[in-house]
Amino acid sequence: MRHLFNLLLRIRRRPVQVLSFLVMNSYFTQNVTKGLPCLGFNCYACPAAAFACPIGSLQHFAVIREIPFYVLGVLGLFGALWGRAACGWLCPFGLLQELMYKVPLPKWHLSTRLGWLRYAFLVALVFAIPYFTLEPWFCKLCPQGTLEAGIPQILLHPELRPLIGWLFALKIVILLAFLVWMAVTSRPFCRWVCPLGAIWSPFNPLSAVRIEVDSETCIACDRCQQVCPVNIRIHENADAAECVRCLECVRVCPVDCIHIFLRHD
């Protein structure tokens, strides 16, 4: 297993993220794979989407008032194996945020103190409000949905254009606000908003694959925090709920004190 982890550390993350985006939107497999929730934030209303958005599916189950065993099981299976790793390696919206953060603008570093907000979004917009209003309200506001589905569907179907109203305008404003925020703050959607991240966050301290920091070797140089896309100090809490398991900290640690390990190692 140690060899496998060493191999993983040699794999570059960006090509994996791009490949994941392409697979999630591979179009031709739609008929076979669209009943499977994807491991990332990818709108199923995108014309090319090949998988179901787990958050959209959860809202649908809330609307039809049925416990979403299947979707939660698929998400739980991955979470139990590797915590929030899908956020760091597979999520197309995570990729977009990382690319936007490369835009040369002054950066705005925020603490993750209000990280609990994403749990509030999960409970309110994904479960409670859809359950009572019978409408998937997270989808109606989702910036990824606007980018991957709203705009492409309007471009592909001119007959829909006369039907555009205030909700579409609101979605565009939300998307633009997030794009600007992404350019100045690293992964803001993951840290404060993402309900999918909120589902996977509690798995970080419980998952089979985990990160550990050897506190005796650590020199607290904060190099890990500098490269961390969610700005956490992994040497203070290796199980932080915000950690997206991207393993950048493991790669850059100058004294090699951060390790990934399987629980039974």
Examine residue 41 and tell whether it contacts other proteins (CB under 8 A): no
69 forms part of the interface with other proteins (CB under 8 A):
yes
| Closer Cβ to other proteins, 30 or 225, answer by number | 30
Strand, coil or helix: 211: strand
Stretch that binds other proteins, among 12-20, 61-69, 113-121, 183-191 (CB under 8 A): 61-69
Residue from 87, 122, 139, 183 touching other proteins (CB under 8 A): that is 139
CA angle 179, 187, 215 (to 5 degrees): 165
Cα(173)–Cα(97) distance, integer angstroms: 17
Is residue 79 at the binding interface for other proteins, with CB under 8 A as the rule? yes
Give, in degrees to the nearest 5, the angle at Cα 209 between 100 and 6. 75
DSSP-derived letter for residue 52 is B
Shortest reach from residue 125's CB to other proteins, in Å: 13
| 37 SS3 class | strand
- Residue 178 in contact with other proteins, rule: CB under 8 A: no
Minimum distance from residue 142 beta carbon to other proteins (Å)? 8
State how far the Cα of 56 lies from the Cα of 52, in Å rounded to an integer. Answer: 8
Angle, CA 20 vertex, CA 130 and CA 13 arms, to 5°: 120
State the residues that interact with other proteins by CB under 8 A: 30, 34-37, 44-45, 49, 51-53, 56-57, 60-61, 64, 66, 68-77, 79-81, 135-136, 139-140, 145-146, 149-150, 153, 160, 163-172, 203, 206-208, 263-264
